[in-house]
Chains A and B, each alone.
Chain A
Amino acid sequence: MNYTDFLNPQVTQVPPSGIRRFFDLASTMKDTISLGVGEPDFVTPYTIRDAAVNAILDGGTQYTANRGLLELRREIALYLSSRFGTEYNPDTEILVTIGASEAIDATMRVLICPGDEVLIPDPSYVSYSPSVRFAYGVPVPVVTREENGFRLMPEDVEKAITPRTKLILLPYPNNPTGGIMEKEDLLKIADIVRRHDLMVISDEIYAELTYGGKTHVSFASLPGMWERTMTINGFSKAFAMTGWRVGYVCGPAEIISEINKIHQYGILCASRMSQEAAVAALKEGREKNYADVRHMRDSYDRRRRLLVEGFRNMGLSCFEPLGAFYVFPSIRVSGLDSEMFCQRLLMEQHIATVPGTAFGVSGEGFIRCSYATALEKLSKALQGMERFLWSLPEHAEEH
């Protein structure tokens, strides 16, 4: 049977994730050292796991309110207020979702009308542009560059704006580049948002992971931006809770209640057990002054320095990432494109990385390396990569 006429071209025209191919390739190989993983290498702290098990044993097995357990929304409100200075009413302005992913998808579907344009920094996380297209919007990539620390530059945003522009997506700290936006960078974007009457979806899932003395600035905390921002966050990165799938979206009540419609009809509610675990994560965090988060961040920070130094020592240009847990070195000196570089590195040295092109066309010439990996593996990966670089003809000529 030919299904072409049955399928929605809006979906079929979206290519599958560029990461998938590398996953399939890497999965067939033994003893691979992977720098290709987009999740923490910590297991969820034991106290959180323990709390979730107890919640199940105590009979917490039912649906929750569509918007999520009130106790969780209250904890989220406290957390955001104390950590990032943004205030949300737990009754009307917070919605708990299945990971930040659902929050991104549902928020886009609520805000985008067919043909609306959404500005997305490029390179960025793989799901934004497809989510926009599934909502019948038009993703408009805005190139970010290594020399600017992969920040979103106001002049590039201005150039990309048309009468159809409705939204700017702000994914900082950024996956895959590790770039961050500091307050003065954000203020310039805020000015554009105000002048062109736009809204912002700020994906702040890596907010807890910033380095070099920088702290995350939440876009909604800027003057006049609260009412123009949908803030998305979750538990995956800060609390090493990827598999639990708990995220949330916060913003004006009028918009949250519309998102809640999509959520209630499509999802009903996030898993209660996971929500109970999330409550434990925030309560525990508050009581211990986020010691676990700090401990993880310190550990990432040390590995971050090691990887940046290692890449620079082997002659790769590497911007110093100040957020998330990725390094995004340029591999142009190799003479290979990103795809070929990653494929050969995997086949020849058994090191898995992700080509920058998986995150957008401006990722060409870069590879994403995650330092959420054990120290001894990072050291081995660096050695392997150096061997690989030396084996290339480009390099041999140079030396």
Chain B
Amino acid sequence: MTQLEEQILDLLHEDCRIPLEKIAVMTGTTLSEVAEAIEGMEKRRIILRYSPTINWDRTDRERVEAMIEVRVMPQRDKGFDAVASRIYRFDEVKSVYLMSGAYDLLVLVEAPTLKNLAYFVSQKLSTLEMVTGTATSFVLKRYKEDGVIFEETEKDARLVVSP
């Protein structure tokens, strides 16, 4: 990672719609250097997607989220990776993490309704032969995600003009 790449990541992470010209000015480089660095990071799969953070609770979209703690049987030669890939390919699955501690995989699942989600857990996830147990917890409210606080709007408490 170069210093420029790190700076670009910071800027894109904050605002993925920031114009490249602006990045070039702010990092003291040229447009082509910035474009090249970004392309390089896309190729190396450092940058995977340009996605806004959305507060879905403020939209009309119905949606249920759950965190599922999954205990699995690791497979010889493949460890947990093979099991994980069987799980993460489902469209309902938003995130999968291998965890230390009392269970193995943490699976974040999203579905339009409770019924859909229950169906997924009972019919798709639990029935995988390497899954030995699940514990499902529903998300009731999201406060903060990826560094963004959802409900608070930042107020500038400073005086308008000060020495």
Knowing A298-B7, A375-B15, say if A17 contacts B27 (CB, 8 Å): no
Q: Which B residues lie within 8 Å of A22 (CB)?
A: 161
Instruction: List the A residue with the shortest CB-CB distance to B15.
Output: A375
A38 CA / B159 CA spacing, docked (Å): 9
Report whether B11 and A32 are in contact in the complex, using a CB–CB cutoff of 8 Å. Answer: no
Report whether A37 and B26 are in contact in the complex, using a CB–CB cutoff of 8 Å. Answer: no
A125 CA / B162 CA spacing, docked (Å): 11
Q: Is A126 an interface residue (CB 8 A)?
A: yes
A126 CA / B160 CA spacing, docked (Å): 17
Contacting residues of chain B (141-163) with chain A, CB-CB under 8 angstroms: 156, 158-163
Q: Which A residues lie within 8 Å of B11 (CB)?
A: 302
Q: Is A119 an interface residue (CB 8 A)?
A: no
**Which of B25, B26, B158, B163 contacts A17 (CB under 8 A)?**
B163
Instruction: List the B residue with the shortest CB-CB distance to A22.
Output: B161
Contacting residues of chain B (1-52) with chain A, CB-CB under 8 angstroms: 7, 10-11, 14-15, 22, 25-28
**Which of B7, B15, B22, B162 contacts A19 (CB under 8 A)?**
B162
Q: Which B residues lie within 8 Å of A298 (CB)?
A: 7, 10
A41 CA / B22 CA spacing, docked (Å): 20
Residue of B28, B156, B159, B162 with most partner-chain A CB within 10 A: B162
Report whether B10 and A37 are in contact in the complex, using a CB–CB cutoff of 8 Å. Answer: no
Instruction: List the B residue with the shortest CB-CB distance to A176.
Output: B163
Report whether A302 and B158 are in contact in the complex, using a CB–CB cutoff of 8 Å. Answer: no
Q: Which A residues lie within 8 Å of B15 (CB)?
A: 375
Selected interface stretch from A72-80, A260-268, A303-311, A327-335: A303-311
Q: Which A residues lie within 8 Å of B28 (CB)?
A: 305
Contact with B along A36-56 (1 / 0, CB 8 A): 111101000000000000000
Chain B interface category by residue count: 10 to 19
B31 → chain A, closest Cβ, in Å?
13
Report whether B26 and A352 are in contact in the complex, using a CB–CB cutoff of 8 Å. Answer: no
Q: Which A residues lie within 8 Å of B7 (CB)?
A: 298, 302
Contact with B along A243-255 (1 / 0, CB 8 A): 0000000000000
Report whether B163 and A126 are in contact in the complex, using a CB–CB cutoff of 8 Å. Answer: yes
B64 → chain A, closest Cβ, in Å?
32
A379 → chain B, closest Cβ, in Å?
8
Contacting residues of chain A (1-45) with chain B, CB-CB under 8 angstroms: 17, 19, 22-23, 26-27, 32, 34, 36-39, 41
B34 → chain A, closest Cβ, in Å?
13
Chain A: residues with Cβ within 8 Å of the partner, total of: 28
Q: Is A270 an interface residue (CB 8 A)?
A: no
Instruction: List the A residue with the shortest CB-CB distance to B14.
Output: A375
Report whether A306 and B160 are in contact in the complex, using a CB–CB cutoff of 8 Å. Answer: no
Report whether B160 and A36 are in contact in the complex, using a CB–CB cutoff of 8 Å. Answer: yes
**Which of A32, A125, A302, A305 contacts B163 (CB under 8 A)?**
A125
A223 → chain B, closest Cβ, in Å?
34
Report whether A23 and B161 are in contact in the complex, using a CB–CB cutoff of 8 Å. Answer: yes
Report whether B10 and A26 are in contact in the complex, using a CB–CB cutoff of 8 Å. Answer: no
Report whether B160 and A34 are in contact in the complex, using a CB–CB cutoff of 8 Å. Answer: yes
Report whether B162 and A306 are in contact in the complex, using a CB–CB cutoff of 8 Å. Answer: no
A38 CA / B158 CA spacing, docked (Å): 9
Contacting residues of chain A (185-235) with chain B, CB-CB under 8 angstroms: none
Q: Which A residues lie within 8 Å of B27 (CB)?
A: 302, 305
A26 CA / B159 CA spacing, docked (Å): 10
**Which of B14, B156, B162 contacts A38 (CB under 8 A)?**
B162
Residue of B10, B158, B160 with most partner-chain A CB within 10 A: B160
Q: Is A354 an interface residue (CB 8 A)?
A: yes
A23 CA / B163 CA spacing, docked (Å): 10
Knowing A41-B156, A298-B7, A375-B15, say if A306 contacts B25 (CB, 8 Å): yes
Q: Is A127 an interface residue (CB 8 A)?
A: yes
A369 CA / B2 CA spacing, docked (Å): 31
A40 → chain B, closest Cβ, in Å?
9
Given A38-B163, A375-B14, list of 8 further CB < 8 A pairs?
A: A19-B161, A37-B161, A39-B158, A175-B163, A305-B27, A305-B28, A309-B25, A379-B22
* B residues with CB within 8 A of A: 7, 10-11, 14-15, 22, 25-28, 156, 158-163
Offer 25 A-B interface pairs, CB within 8 angstroms, sorted by A: A17-B163, A19-B161, A19-B162, A19-B163, A22-B161, A26-B160, A32-B160, A34-B158, A34-B161, A36-B160, A37-B159, A38-B162, A39-B158, A41-B156, A175-B163, A303-B26, A305-B26, A305-B28, A306-B22, A309-B25, A352-B160, A354-B161, A375-B14, A375-B15, A379-B22
The 6 A-B residue pairs with the shortest CB-CB distance in the complex, in nearest-first order = A302-B26, A36-B161, A23-B161, A26-B160, A309-B25, A38-B162
* A residues with CB within 8 A of B: 17, 19, 22-23, 26-27, 32, 34, 36-39, 41, 125-127, 175, 298, 302-303, 305-306, 309, 352, 354, 358, 375, 379
